[in-house]
Amino acid sequence: MTIKIKHEHSRAHRFGDRDVVTYGLAHPWGANAYHFFLKMRWWQFFAVAGLTFLALNALFACLYLLGSAPIANQNPGGFWGAFFFSVETLATVGYGDMHPDTPYGHAIATLEIFVGMVNVALATGMIFARFSRPRALIQFADQPVVHPVNGRQTLTIRAANGRQNVILEASAKLRLIRSELTQEGHMIRRIHDLQLVREQQPMFMFGWTLMHVIDETSPLWGSSAEQLIQQDAGLILTLSGIDETTSQSMQGRKTYALSKVQWNKRYRDFMRVDGEGVTHLDFNHFHSVESVPNAAVSSNDGV
């Protein structure tokens, strides 16, 4: 869905399955340029860099044309000759065939060389920052499931390390966020921690099934699926750890609307061991769920 924004200092955001628009905060482009270039895709980054390069050379070509024969041995004549000379000057190539021939030409060339050096430094720094920025490839199941585990209703979410290297001392946090009415009658958004059966994983390499038991201590206890949807409830799952390859901190995050939870379903098993004792993990079934037979939820379970 495309959000049309007409107010001044307004901005659209996408948070999980929710669309949020903020108002009243100024967003000067220059202050956010670094963050903007880090977030864009690689093809977008190089497209912007290429267009900037062409625009700068076109600008300086026009400046050269304002002078009276500022470029010696210009070939071809007119705009394109000035454009190609600008490319050589901006890149500090200096083939020697064409060169500034007047004080005006030398002045524009000096300015262009300075701009070119700054542009190369900025582009180099930005490319290094993009390459060196750690990016986790943690995958999350498309939908959480709720089904009995050892006789207790359990909220389950499956995660996997898409890079399939080792993430050391991985930790997970699962939180519930929903709208609640205070005693004074104010509607607020509150965050509740959901205790996981295991929050630490010493070596997260392939898969990790995260489980939260819905018992009397759980914030989900006593709430029906319909009530949670009316409360606009959602789940926020975060995973973090140290990438063994780069020794850098890695983080992954996934948000779910409670309407996405599959009740009385379980994840399809994607692991098998063959006759030679070799373990096979088929991630084609990573998101697949299946019904749990005879798993009706009792009213005492709350969900």
Q: Is the pLDDT of residue 213 over 70?
A: yes
**Domain that residue 60 falls in:** 40-132
Pick from 254, 33, 26, 232: nearest CA to 126: 33
Verify that 144 and 262 share a domain, yes or no: yes
How far is the C-alpha of 239 from the C-alpha of 200, rounded, in Å? Answer: 10
Q: Is the pLDDT of residue 82 over 80?
A: yes
Segment 128-145 shows an average pLDDT of 82
What is the residue-averaged pLDDT of the chain? 83
Rounded to 5°, angle at Cα 18 from 301 and 182: 55
Number of separate domains in the chain: 2
Verify that 123 and 154 share a domain, yes or no: no
Verify that 104 and 202 share a domain, yes or no: no
Verify that 115 and 159 share a domain, yes or no: no
Domain boundary among 101, 132, 163: 132
pLDDT single digits (tens) 262-298: 888 999 888 888 888 888 888 888 888 898 876 554 4
How far is the C-alpha of 215 from the C-alpha of 152, rounded, in Å? Answer: 8
Identify the pLDDT of residue 301: 41
Structure tokens at 250: 């890695």
Instruction: Output the pTM of the full model.
Output: 0.64
Segment 124-137 shows an average pLDDT of 78
Position 102 in a domain:
yes
Backbone angles phi, psi at 124, to 5 degrees: -65, -45
pLDDT single digits (tens) 137-155: 888 999 999 999 998 999 9
How far is the C-alpha of 74 from the C-alpha of 61, rounded, in Å? Answer: 12
CATH number of the domain that residue 92 is part of: 1.10.287.70
Task: Provide the sign of the torsion angle of the four alpha carbons 146, 148, 153, 155, taken in this order.
Answer: negative
CATH number of the domain that residue 207 is part of: 2.60.40.1400
Position 53 in a domain:
yes
Q: Is the pLDDT of residue 261 over 80?
A: yes
Which residue did the predictor score with more confidence, 251 or 1?
A: 251
Verify that 202 and 121 share a domain, yes or no: no
Backbone angles phi, psi at 166, to 5 degrees: -95, 125
Terminal Cα distance for the chain, rounded? 31
pLDDT single digits (tens) 10-47: 666 665 566 767 665 555 555 567 667 777 788 888 89
Verify that 124 and 166 share a domain, yes or no: no
pLDDT single digits (tens) 154-179: 999 999 888 888 889 999 999 999 98
Which residue did the predictor score with more confidence, 27 or 213?
A: 213
